[in-house]
Amino acid sequence: MIRILSALAGLVFAGVVLLAFVMGATTWLTEEPMHSADHEFHLDAHGPEGGYSFDGPVGKWDVAQLQRGLKVYSEVCSACHSLKFVAFRDLEEIGYSEAQVKAFAATKQVPGIDPNTGESVMRPGEPTDYFPSPFPNAVAAAAANNNAIPPDLSLMTKARHHGSNYVYSLLTGYTDPATFEKDGKRLMEEFPDFQTPPGLYFNPYFANLNLAMAPPLGVDGQVTYDDGTEATVSQMSADVAAFLTWTAEPKLVERKQTGFAVLVFLLFATVLAYFAKRQVWSSVKPKKA
Amino acid sequence: MSFPWAKEYTPANGFTKWVDEKLPLPRFVYNAVGAGYPVPRNLNYMWNFGVLAGFCLVLQIVTGVVLAMHYAANAQVAFGTVEHIMRDVNWGWMLRYMHANGASFFFLVLYLHIFRGFFYSSYKAPREMIWLLGVVIFLLAMATAFMGYVLPWGQMSFWGAKVITGLFSAIPFVGEPIQIWLLGGFAPDNAALNRFFSLHFLLPFVILGVVILHVWALHIPGSSNPTGVEVKSESDTVPFHPYYTAKDGFGLGVFLIIYCVVVFFLPNMLGHPDNYIEANPLSTPAHIVPEWYFYPFYAILRAFTFDFILEAKLWGVLAMFSSILLWFLLPWLDRSPVRSGHYRPLFRTFFIILLVDMAVLFYCGGAPAEEPYVMISQIATAYYFLHFLVILPIVSSIEKPKPLPYSITEAVLGSDKKAVLGENTQPAT
């Protein structure tokens, strides 16, 4: 009985889903396949030439690069993007001294309360403060940016596929749609109607190819590095991508180093466990003929 | 229960004797996972996954309890407290990555444990109750994992919660009120997050309780084994300790190495980047996907795209729940008296097809809901139901199994002298 009922239930489910298949297949065969510019002309993110210092299982931060990245963020990105999960005190992890952090924090204005009147005021930052948002709230951010709220950057490299490479590719990837080609195919030939809407900017690394952010790093030397590194667009993009990798995962190097110690211990323990197991079983294992 | 030759616990000194008289807990452990539990001597490495699943459960409870000390289930701050754990809590990043990836590895182990059960027909008499409890554990684990994924309150958390609780709205007439009641609102918000956290903390302990029943039920007939031939004599078994504690110890080591490679070097490989974006009810992610361990069932859910008498969505929901609930019927669907797939050539062929089918469903569940993935998942879904509900019962009645060994001893050593001499062959009681 149970088998008959089950078989019936099985046939019903299979029948209904196969019916759905027939319907779906008919539509699929009779309708034009989906053909869209963002599907066919989107580019996969790539990193800077030579990769990042923190790539791979033994990769480490390049502290000088992180400091350069902080400078790019401070002078360019921070005009629109917040960094709300990062505190000034965290900067001690990228090679700044306590005094330098204190001085850096003091250059930023953060929201506070006047101790005498209780009124909201802006005051100089302390090391315990977090990076302030450039806008008081989301409405102000949207109003100032053509309705596109600039996302917080703290976790950006973990919140996108190919994180660090994506940031680098996006920053260096702005191009002219009129001349853009992928795999030998020209965008304007395949999609003559393609148009970047006014107020948006063409970037093949962005999911739908049109991005609300104007090219932020336009010219070489836009930021003057303290360590004398030449500030090409590619260099600045790589540096800020590295800095944002640090803001997203400040424990990255610690994590990998801990991992090695753990794996060495586990390998040793597992080898011991293997020989212990062989020893225990040797008396009952059949002899190999 | 036990076999007559099971070793008996003898207290070593006055203190353990005193404890044994008042509360025989050491005796209990000795009989459960010590030398007092005789186990078939021929278990292969597929029998490691029960112990590993238990280890994963404990790992999840321990890391989870500590994480709960630093987490706040409030929609305003939940995302921020997770970042607080990642940045400011001592070893918080490690605990969180261990817990998040621990869930994935728990499911990996559970799936291998379940597939072991499929192939060796571990669900057959006299072990039906172990199997039924196991399916209950799996369902509870799915609920726990789903609610846990909501807690970081990222985009996938929010939209996953919305999609899954939205399934209840497919129930005719009462669906929508049920969904609102479950969520405590029209969409996931603080009320939903709080109850999910409460249940996410509770359910692992419920799982632990069912695991105890699962192991209790196991100790009545004793473990199954790769030949599927029941234990006949003492030479068929070895004591659990030290033989299987040693073997499980090695298995645990291998498991931990793979787990730690992921935790320390690829901690976000199994997650979705969108969950590092704070939940935003106004912005829908391009592709809403569950965690990888739900992909096959998600593919079944989405395979039903045609309103046939009932709404397509309701078909999908019914099929998705049925696809797991039908496992409860397996002991009665598969009537073959032979347990092990090694001696069932036809069954074995279909088992391999099932594995391929589930791999296809897995792939389609993670793919976007567009052609050709939907069509492929429809074929695979049809096979899934036909396999368990139609093919398996037919195979079990028409198949001609290969000859079985006389005993486990014969399977291991090539001959069983006791069988020839007729000594000590009384069946287990």
pLDDT, tens digit, for every residue of B147-156?
999 999 999 9
* Chain A (106-165) residues lying within 8 Å, Cβ to Cβ, of chain B: 151-152, 154-155, 158-161, 163
Distance CA A42, CA A209 (A): 7
Confidence band of A184 (pLDDT split at 50, 70, 90)? confident
Residues of chain A in contact with residue B385, where contact means CB-CB under 8 angstroms, are 9-10, 13-14, 17
Checking if the pLDDT of B406 tops 70, the result is yes
Name the DSSP letter for residue A180: -
Q: Under an 8 A CB cutoff, do B371 and A286 touch?
A: no
Mean pLDDT of B258-267: 97
- The SS3 of residue A41 is coil
Q: Does B261 touch chain A (CB under 8 A)?
A: yes
Partner residue facing B333 (CB), from A3, A276, A284: A3
Spatial contact of B28 and B37, defined as CB atoms under 8 Å apart: no
What pLDDT, on a 0 to 100 scale, did the predictor assign at position B425?
A: 45
What pLDDT, on a 0 to 100 scale, did the predictor assign at position A35?
A: 76
Closest by CA to B317, choosing from B163, B170, B182, B173, is B170
Mean pLDDT of B244-255: 97
Select, from the ranges A21-30, B281-290, B352-361, the one with the highest average predicted confidence (pLDDT): B352-361
B169-216: pLDDT as tens digits? 988 889 999 999 999 999 999 999 999 999 999 999 999 999 999 999
Mean pLDDT of B329-352: 95
What pLDDT, on a 0 to 100 scale, did the predictor assign at position B123?
A: 96
Q: Does B282 touch chain A (CB under 8 A)?
A: no
User: Residue B115: what are its φ and ψ, rounded to 5°?
Assistant: -65, -35
Element (H, E) at A211: strand A210-211
* Residue A251 CB contacts under 8 Å (≥ 6 apart), including other chains: B86, B87, B93
Checking if the pLDDT of A17 tops 70, the result is yes
Checking if the pLDDT of B429 tops 60, the result is no
Length of chain A measured in residues: 289
CA distance A274 to chain B (A): 5
What pLDDT, on a 0 to 100 scale, did the predictor assign at position B417?
A: 65
Indicate if B340 belongs to the active site: no
Q: Does A274 touch chain B (CB under 8 A)?
A: yes
Confidence band of B424 (pLDDT split at 50, 70, 90)? very low
Size of interface A-B (CB pairs under 8 A): 170
Distance CA B150, CA B171 (A): 23
Annotated active-site residue in B99, B121, B248, B407? B248
Indicate if B248 belongs to the active site: yes
Chain A residue with CA closest to B273: the answer is: A159
Q: Under an 8 A CB cutoff, do B382 and A17 touch?
A: yes
The identity of residue B9, as a single letter, is Y
Residue B81 C-beta-side C-alpha neighbours within 13 Å? 15
What pLDDT, on a 0 to 100 scale, did the predictor assign at position B95?
A: 98
Element (H, E) at B183: helix B175-183
Distance CA B282, CA A75 (A): 31
Indicate if B334 belongs to the active site: no
Instruction: Determine the Cα angle at B42 with ends B38 and B45, to 5°.
Output: 105
Chain B residue with CA closest to A5: the answer is: B389
pTM score above 0.90: yes
User: For A250-266, what is the HEC assignment?
Assistant: CCHHHHHHHHHHHHHHH
Rg of chain A (C-alpha set): 28
Chain B residue with CA closest to A274: the answer is: B250
Mean pLDDT of B330-335: 94
Indicate if B291 belongs to the active site: yes
Checking if the pLDDT of A248 tops 50, the result is yes
Partner residue facing B273 (CB), from A28, A85, A159: A159
Confidence band of A125 (pLDDT split at 50, 70, 90)? very high
Q: Does B172 touch chain A (CB under 8 A)?
A: no
Checking if the pLDDT of B421 tops 60, the result is no
Averaged pLDDT score across all residues of chain B: 93
Confidence band of B368 (pLDDT split at 50, 70, 90)? confident
Which sign, positive or negative, has the C-alpha torsion B101, B107, B109, B111?
A: negative
Residues of chain A in contact with residue B382, where contact means CB-CB under 8 angstroms, are 13-14, 17-18, 21
Q: Under an 8 A CB cutoff, do A11 and B265 touch?
A: no
Distance CA A24, CA B103 (A): 35
Closest by CA to B410, choosing from B230, B222, B228, B236, is B236
Annotated active-site residue in B70, B84, B219, B387? B219
Q: Under an 8 A CB cutoff, do A286 and B412 touch?
A: yes
Closest by CA to B334, choosing from A49, A199, A3, A124, is A3
Spatial contact of A154 and A247, defined as CB atoms under 8 Å apart: yes
Q: Does B142 touch chain A (CB under 8 A)?
A: no
Mutate which of B244, B287, B334, B371 to test chain A, going by most A C-beta atoms within 10 A? B371
Checking if the pLDDT of B422 tops 70, the result is no
Indicate if B8 belongs to the active site: no
User: Residue A111: what are its φ and ψ, rounded to 5°?
Assistant: -65, 140
Residues of chain A in contact with residue B286, where contact means CB-CB under 8 angstroms, are 207
| Cis before B281 (ω within 30) | no
Spatial contact of B264 and A259, defined as CB atoms under 8 Å apart: yes
What pLDDT, on a 0 to 100 scale, did the predictor assign at position B1?
A: 55
Mean pLDDT of B269-275: 95
Crossing angle of helices A233-248 and A163-172, rounded to 10°? 150
- The SS3 of residue A185 is strand
What pLDDT, on a 0 to 100 scale, did the predictor assign at position B409?
A: 87
Checking if the pLDDT of A131 tops 50, the result is yes
Q: Under an 8 A CB cutoff, do B265 and A57 touch?
A: yes
What pLDDT, on a 0 to 100 scale, did the predictor assign at position A33?
A: 72
A139-181: pLDDT as tens digits? 999 999 988 899 999 999 999 999 999 999 999 999 999 889 8
What pLDDT, on a 0 to 100 scale, did the predictor assign at position B419?
A: 52
Mutate which of A16, A81, A263 to test chain B, going by most B C-beta atoms within 10 A? A16
b or e along A123-161 (b: 16 or more beta carbons within 10 Å of the residue's beta carbon)? Answer: eebbbebbbbbbbeeeeebeeebeeebbbbbbbbbbbbe
